[in-house]
Amino acid sequence: MDRLPPPPTLQDASRALWLATLSLMTAFMQTQAPAHRLLMARRIARNFATLREQECFSADCRNRFARLGAHWQRIADRLQGTPPRWRVLLQRLGLT
Protein backbone atom coordinates (compact mmCIF):
# COMPACT_ATOMS: atom_id res chain seq x y z
CA MET A 1 0.00 0.00 0.00
CA ASP A 2 1.44 3.37 -1.04
CA ARG A 3 1.69 5.96 1.64
CA LEU A 4 1.20 9.59 0.76
CA PRO A 5 4.02 11.92 1.73
CA PRO A 6 3.23 14.21 4.65
CA PRO A 7 1.79 17.59 3.69
CA PRO A 8 4.34 20.39 3.47
CA THR A 9 4.82 22.47 6.59
CA LEU A 10 4.67 26.24 6.77
CA GLN A 11 8.46 26.20 7.04
CA ASP A 12 8.71 24.23 3.78
CA ALA A 13 6.32 26.62 2.05
CA SER A 14 8.24 29.66 3.32
CA ARG A 15 11.53 28.18 2.14
CA ALA A 16 9.97 27.53 -1.29
CA LEU A 17 8.74 31.15 -1.42
CA TRP A 18 12.25 32.36 -0.58
CA LEU A 19 13.71 30.27 -3.42
CA ALA A 20 11.03 31.51 -5.82
CA THR A 21 11.86 35.09 -4.82
CA LEU A 22 15.53 34.51 -5.58
CA SER A 23 14.52 33.20 -9.00
CA LEU A 24 12.37 36.28 -9.61
CA MET A 25 15.28 38.56 -8.69
CA THR A 26 17.45 36.72 -11.21
CA ALA A 27 14.76 37.06 -13.88
CA PHE A 28 14.41 40.76 -13.06
CA MET A 29 18.09 41.32 -13.77
CA GLN A 30 17.83 39.56 -17.13
CA THR A 31 14.64 41.27 -18.33
CA GLN A 32 14.79 44.53 -20.25
CA ALA A 33 11.06 45.23 -20.74
CA PRO A 34 10.05 48.00 -18.29
CA ALA A 35 6.51 46.69 -17.80
CA HIS A 36 7.77 43.22 -16.95
CA ARG A 37 10.40 44.64 -14.61
CA LEU A 38 7.71 46.66 -12.81
CA LEU A 39 5.50 43.61 -12.32
CA MET A 40 8.43 41.51 -11.12
CA ALA A 41 9.59 44.20 -8.68
CA ARG A 42 6.08 44.44 -7.22
CA ARG A 43 5.89 40.65 -6.82
CA ILE A 44 9.34 40.51 -5.21
CA ALA A 45 8.33 43.25 -2.73
CA ARG A 46 5.12 41.37 -1.87
CA ASN A 47 7.04 38.12 -1.43
CA PHE A 48 9.42 39.79 1.01
CA ALA A 49 6.42 41.25 2.88
CA THR A 50 5.05 37.72 3.24
CA LEU A 51 8.42 36.27 4.25
CA ARG A 52 9.01 38.88 6.95
CA GLU A 53 5.82 37.73 8.69
CA GLN A 54 6.84 34.06 8.91
CA GLU A 55 7.90 33.05 12.39
CA CYS A 56 9.87 30.08 11.08
CA PHE A 57 12.67 32.57 10.22
CA SER A 58 14.78 34.26 12.88
CA ALA A 59 14.05 37.84 13.89
CA ASP A 60 17.26 38.97 12.20
CA CYS A 61 16.25 37.23 8.99
CA ARG A 62 12.77 38.79 9.11
CA ASN A 63 14.36 42.23 9.58
CA ARG A 64 16.46 41.62 6.49
CA PHE A 65 13.35 40.57 4.57
CA ALA A 66 11.67 43.82 5.67
CA ARG A 67 14.60 45.90 4.38
CA LEU A 68 14.70 43.95 1.13
CA GLY A 69 10.96 44.41 0.71
CA ALA A 70 11.30 48.17 1.17
CA HIS A 71 14.17 48.22 -1.32
CA TRP A 72 12.16 46.37 -3.96
CA GLN A 73 9.13 48.58 -3.32
CA ARG A 74 11.31 51.63 -4.04
CA ILE A 75 12.46 49.98 -7.27
CA ALA A 76 8.82 49.32 -8.26
CA ASP A 77 7.89 52.92 -7.41
CA ARG A 78 10.76 54.23 -9.49
CA LEU A 79 9.80 52.03 -12.45
CA GLN A 80 6.21 53.22 -12.16
CA GLY A 81 7.35 56.82 -12.05
CA THR A 82 6.29 57.46 -8.45
CA PRO A 83 8.54 60.13 -6.93
CA PRO A 84 10.42 59.27 -3.73
CA ARG A 85 8.64 60.23 -0.51
CA TRP A 86 11.33 62.73 0.45
CA ARG A 87 10.82 64.58 -2.85
CA VAL A 88 7.05 64.75 -2.28
CA LEU A 89 7.66 66.12 1.21
CA LEU A 90 10.04 68.77 -0.13
CA GLN A 91 7.44 69.78 -2.72
CA ARG A 92 4.75 70.07 -0.04
CA LEU A 93 7.06 72.29 2.00
CA GLY A 94 7.73 74.42 -1.08
CA LEU A 95 11.45 73.68 -1.03
CA THR A 96 11.71 72.53 -4.64
Which pLDDT tens digit goes with each residue over 35-77? 999 999 999 999 999 999 999 999 999 999 999 999 999 999 9
Q: Please report the pLDDT score of residue 91 as a whole number.
A: 82
Q: Binning pLDDT at 50, 70 and 90, where does residue 32 land? A: very high
Helix (H, G, I), strand (E, B) or coil at 57: coil
Taking alpha carbons only, the member of 19, 75, 20 closest to residue 45 is: 75
5 falls within a domain: no
Using an 8 Å Cβ cutoff, are 75 and 41 in contact?
A: yes
Question: 55: how many CB neighbours lie within 10 A of its CB?
Answer: 10
51 falls within a domain: yes
42 falls within a domain: yes
User: Which residue range forms the structural domain that includes residue 15?
Assistant: 11-92
38 falls within a domain: yes
Q: How many domains does the chain have?
A: 1
4 falls within a domain: no
36 falls within a domain: yes
